[in-house]
Structure 1
């Protein structure tokens, strides 16, 4: 009986090792290409422009994870999906298939600035959450080789609120959620998806948005203060600020 158990034990170890997540090897530095396209959601009669930051050797990267990035509010002027290039290009250079969504269109109403912002802005976050879901489903059709079981969502400010709402609505679709100073939409209280939030030094979040210290311990959530202004988390930041944010994001993505 002792000898019969050994092969079974070996098989068990093999299966356990296969189930362990193998993250992208961040030591690589790939050349990056930028593509843009406009998707169309017929059910909502809505155009969704996206920018794709892709390693040129993308098809040769095993377990290639997808990052969907969501920009902060840009007053509907457009082009916001380009203004975080310091981060989106870096992620692509490290091997991530990085998609930046242009959520606002010139024809959209402006984001409300009065009233209960958690209520009056909720439809705008819902629009963003629906955009994320549509883009994700389109990617699955056109890029079936990518790793969608470990989807990464990143969002700054209003885009972080959109990503947080998506994480609350579709927790089974998200592996890691990283918000950069979202202020209004409460973060999911869960250990899966894994939750990280980088905070600015000048803008507080609304009450209840961030987990308490007890919740952080319970769900293994990370809330990281920084010395960076809220409005310096895009390409307006200096090199030091960009490096700080990029290092944190890569650290979180490298964790199992």
Structure 2
């Protein structure tokens, strides 16, 4: 059963037969895992209907960062008619992210926990927001949040339409003709072997890899240099326009 705390901000208005909210911060409860999941949900301004559903984007943070630290991305999605769900993956009491390689093994517990959270939200929020498409998700994640998103795309490929990552470095980027991918790469750390596509693979799959000059992995959020945030916003907007 879904347990929802009173929203911090609730706009009670009806759009197309559903309740719409703006910047609704709340905590959902996954009874199966006895896990509280803090989220911030922002509905689109577009007139969405059950027959003509609007898109959905899940936003995941880098490890140790707040799930609300990517407002440049949330705003871009909002401008393109998305419902956005900013998800807090890391909770007090969770095991620390394992610092030892091989990461595809040692961090899989963390990633699977994140995947379970995303799937729980996709199922439960679809009941609350029937005018939004939770079966063709757009996933956005920075660093470890991008690794979680990439694993979700590997496990539930039929439910993912787009994947955008900011310098995820451990989980393999999907090689799937049905998933459009944008990955923006920092310039200070390399990705692990096979995470990124080879030139030959890039010719085969709808994946765009862009290395951002003089960009640091830890700066790829709202608090980074203004020029970097503007560049990331520009690339994200261009990708969303090209993959409507």
- Asked if the contact 1:53–1:89 (Cα under 8 Å) also holds between the matched residues in 2, the reply is no
Offset at 1:104? 0.4
Q: Indicate whether 1:69 and 2:65 are aligned.
A: no
The alpha-carbon distance between structure 1 residues 208 and 105, as it changes in their structure 2 partners (threshold 3 A), is same
- Alignment-derived partner of residue 101 in structure 1: 87
The alpha-carbon distance between structure 1 residues 90 and 255, as it changes in their structure 2 partners (threshold 3 A), is closer
- C-alpha separation between the residues in 2 aligned to 1:58 and 1:108? 37
Residue from 212, 232, 240 that aligns with 2:198: 212
- Alignment-derived partner of residue 33 in structure 2: 44
Q: Whose Rg is larger?
A: 1
User: Aligned residue pairs: how many?
Assistant: 220
- C-alpha separation between the residues in 1 aligned to 2:165 and 2:216? 15
Offset at 1:58? 4.6
Cα deviation, 1:63-104, whole Å, max 9, x if unaligned, reads 421111111000xxxx71111122213322442111110000
Bigger drift between 155-164 and 94-103 goes to: 94-103
- C-alpha separation between the residues in 2 aligned to 1:40 and 1:130? 13
Cα deviation, 1:36-68, whole Å, max 9, x if unaligned, reads 11111111111111111334x354586421111
- Asked if the contact 1:176–1:194 (Cα under 8 Å) also holds between the matched residues in 2, the reply is yes
Offset at 1:244? 0.7
3-state SS in 2 of match to 1:248: helix
Q: Indicate whether 1:130 and 2:116 are aligned.
A: yes
Higher helix residue share: 1
3-state SS in 2 of match to 1:223: strand
- Alignment-derived partner of residue 96 in structure 2: 110
Cα deviation, 1:82-135, whole Å, max 9, x if unaligned, reads 111222133224421111100000111111112422211111011111111111
Q: Normalization by structure 1: what TM-score?
A: 0.81
- Alignment-derived partner of residue 7 in structure 1: none
Q: Normalization by structure 2: what TM-score?
A: 0.85
- Alignment-derived partner of residue 221 in structure 1: 207
Residue from 72, 81, 105 that aligns with 1:119: 105
- C-alpha separation between the residues in 2 aligned to 1:142 and 1:154? 21
- Alignment-derived partner of residue 54 in structure 1: 43
| Stretches of structure 1 lacking an aligned partner (at least 5 in a row) | 1-31
3-state SS in 2 of match to 1:80: coil
- C-alpha separation between the residues in 2 aligned to 1:129 and 1:123? 10
- Alignment-derived partner of residue 181 in structure 1: 167
- C-alpha separation between the residues in 2 aligned to 1:150 and 1:110? 31
Offset at 1:148? 3.1
Residue from 199, 205, 226 that aligns with 1:239: 226
Q: Indicate whether 1:34 and 2:6 are aligned.
A: no
The alpha-carbon distance between structure 1 residues 113 and 72, as it changes in their structure 2 partners (threshold 3 A), is same
Q: Indicate whether 1:164 and 2:150 are aligned.
A: yes
Residue from 92, 110, 114 that aligns with 2:78: 92
The alpha-carbon distance between structure 1 residues 169 and 60, as it changes in their structure 2 partners (threshold 3 A), is closer
3-state SS in 2 of match to 1:109: coil
Root-mean-square deviation over aligned CA pairs: 1.8
